Each structure stands twice: as C-alpha cells, then as structure tokens.
Amino acid sequence: MEKKTGVVLVGGLLVLVSLFFGRAVSQDWPMFRSEPERRGGKGSLPNSPDRLWAFRTAEAVNSSPALSGDRLLVGALDGKMYCLDKEKGSLFWKSHTRGIINSSPAVAEGKVFFGIGSLDLYLELIPQPLPRGGRVYRRVKTKSYSIEVTISPDYDGKMVCLSLSQGNLLWSKRMGNFVFSSPAVFRGSVYFGCGDGKMYCLEAKTGNQRWQFKTQDMIASSPLLAYGKVYFGSYDNKFYCLDADSGKRLWEFRSSDIIFSSAAAGGNRIYFGSRDKYLYCLQADTGKLIWKFRATDEINSTPAIGSDKVVFSSADKYIYCLDAARGRKIWSYRAGDRVTSSPALGDGKVVVGSNNGYLYCLSLNEGKLLWKEKLTGEIHSSLAFQGGRIYQATTGKFIYCLGEKEKK
C-alpha cells in the first residue's frame, strides 16, 4: 500500500424506513449504496488498511457487495452469486444462474434479490432477435476480462430471489430484456429498471408484479427510494419521479443526454449525473432545477451525500467535491484513470476506486490523499464498508477485504 500520511444501515424490511419514516440504525449494508436513498454510507473507514483477506471468483466482478449479518453477497460475470463469510472470506455457498450478473444484490428478510442480463451483451452481441428455440455461444471480451456465455431465448433477463441461508431459488421472474439495474427493497416490494424501458415494482415474497412504468428507452440506473417516491434516469435523457405505491408519474426532468447514473437523496434534494457531463441537483417534490455543475466528461457514477457536501466521480479521471447547497466546487482530485465507481463517505474520508485498479482515500474537507491501495484488475463496482472494513470487488476476479489488523 502507498501512503501519503500516516452501512451500516438497514438489514431487513423492518428497518428499511430511512427517509420514509425516519432513519433506523443497523450494522448492515444490504443493497447498492447501503440504503434506498443511495447516499453512499456512513460509519467508520480504516485509517491505514491492510489486506485482511481476498477471495478469488471464477470471472470478473462488476457487481457491488451487499452485507447482511455475517454474510457478504456479490455477483460475477460467470452468472454466480457468491455468499461469503465477511470476517474470514470463506465461502458459505454459490448459486449459478444462466446469464451474467452486473446487478448488485439487495438483501431483505432472509432473501437475496438481483437482476440477470448484460447491457454490453444487449448492445453489442444481440443486434437481432434469436430464432425461436435457438442458442448462441459468444465470448465477451473487454480490456480486462473475457468470458464465454450462452445466449438463449430465455436469456432476455430476470429478477431472481434466493434464500440467504442456503442460496436456493425461491422465485425468478423473466423480464422483457436485460436487468442491469440494482434493486431497491422496501416494505415488501422490489423496485428495479429494465432494458425494455420499464421501471418495475414486484412483490418481494412472490415476484408478482404490482406495477410497471414505461419510459421511451432502456433503464440501466438503479432506483432511488425516498420521500415515498421512486426516482430514476433513463436512456431517453429524462429523469423521472413516480409514486412508490402506485407507479404514477409525478414529474419528469429532461437532461441533454443519456442518464446512466443512479441518483442519491438528501435534504429534500435529488442529485444525479448525466452523460451530458453535468451533475444535477433537483427539488425532490417538484423536480425544479436548483443547480447544475459541469465536469469535463460524462458522469456515470452515483454521488455520495454528506451533511453539506456532494462527492462524485467522472470519466474525466477526477473526483469532485461540491457545496451541496449551491453546487460550487470545493476541491477536485485527479485519479490515474477513468472513475466509474461511486465514492463512499465515512469518518471525514472519501474512498473510491478507479479503472487503474487503485482505491483512493481522500480527506473529505480538503481532498488530500490519505492513502491508496493497488488491487488486481480494474475497479468498476462500488465498495461497501462496515466497522472499519472495506469490501471491494474487481475485474481481476477478486473480492477484497481491507481493514486494520488487530494489535496483539
């Protein structure tokens, strides 16, 4: 490790109340960005971490980990969902699904929810519908990994529910297209976007549909649940606000390009990025623009929200910290490569991974580098942290646990 100086939340449906009814305290990180509001966590981050363990997966990992009790859940591009002992890194179970997992799992009431299907496959490998009953074998290649996949008529995409204890299948629902979006679970419902351009709400217990809402293009972002509403962006350049119970559209906001970024909530405001290079801040109840800040390249990450600051990363290789009230830049830090991973906040620190394989830890107030750690492969997924430990997956086929070793 190179040094310059010497959540956390809701673990089941009963405590997933956050901005709906007031925040509950838990030691879990049960979904992407730790909570339905996607704020990016709170709690303690290590000051000078060591590698406590590393678990090797069969293929690259773009999915972000979820933490529940003594367990860590994460999906890989080989279609396996891994359940590990978060203290030791040993395997509890792994469940194989047909397809590719990019979606980050959500855990609630003893169940694990995640989507199947790849955005890359949809855009690059399946330009034409498959013949009925046909099957296609392809090999996906990127800069950092390659994987052989089987594409069949039922590959379009699914939302899957497994048992947390054993990994056995409880239900799966075939969707009209890929499910890249990471689900949010709240009050017995599962919310997620789909490549068919629809936002879905399913019954968590059975997978039965409660409602759906159609946009004009595919949805890859993950839904934000706050203030009794569902917020998300679409490839149709629009950002939507729906009623969480009925799926009724309350308002929409148009950007000038695709919205891949997932949103975060804080202080009755909604923050999200767009491929038009802007970070937007909107009024949560009306969708009115409060401010926007322009980076020098597209913004695909989810911003992290502090008490008075907003931190986000961009494809321009910079990590930015803004004043949450007015959108004025406080500092920026240049990483060594594109930053598609979303930052996490805790203990006055910012931690985020880059495509160069480094995890960077910066001071929240000044943007000063505190430490950086080189991992194997690129870092596309966002980390989870809890109790002074960081859990990070990479395209190098590893899941890492970083923290401070106990003094003997």
pLDDT tens digits, one per residue of 164-185: 999 999 999 998 788 989 999 9
- Contact at 8 Å (CB) between 392 and 374? no
Residue whose token pair is 């838990």: 26
Name the DSSP class of 155: G
**pLDDT tens, residue by residue, 228-251:** 999 999 999 999 999 999 999 999
State the CATH architecture for 2-403. Answer: 7 Propeller (2.130)
Q: Which pTM does this prediction carry?
A: 0.86
Tokens of 220: 């890859």
| 86, amino acid identity | K
Q: Is 152 helix (H, G, I), strand (E, B) or coil?
A: coil
| Nearest by Cα to 381 from 55, 33, 72 | 33
* Mean predicted confidence (pLDDT) in 283-289: 98
Q: Residue 120: what pLDDT?
A: 52
- Contact at 8 Å (CB) between 321 and 309? yes
Residue 126 — very low, low, confident or very high, per pLDDT cuts 50/70/90? very low
Q: Residue 3: what pLDDT?
A: 42
Percent of the chain with pLDDT over 90: 69
Please provide the DSSP assignment of 10-49 as one string: --SGGGTTHHHH-----SBB-STTSSTT-----S---SS-
**pLDDT tens, residue by residue, 180-221:** 899 999 999 999 999 899 999 999 999 999 999 999 999 999
Name the DSSP class of 257: S
Q: Residue 345: what pLDDT?
A: 92
229 Cβ contact partners less than 8 Å away, ≥ 6 residues apart = 241, 242, 243, 244, 250, 284
Residue 327 — very low, low, confident or very high, per pLDDT cuts 50/70/90? very high
Q: Residue 408: what pLDDT?
A: 64
* Mean predicted confidence (pLDDT) in 138-145: 45
pLDDT at 389 over 50: yes
| Nearest by Cα to 381 from 173, 158, 101, 90 | 101
- Contact at 8 Å (CB) between 357 and 396? yes
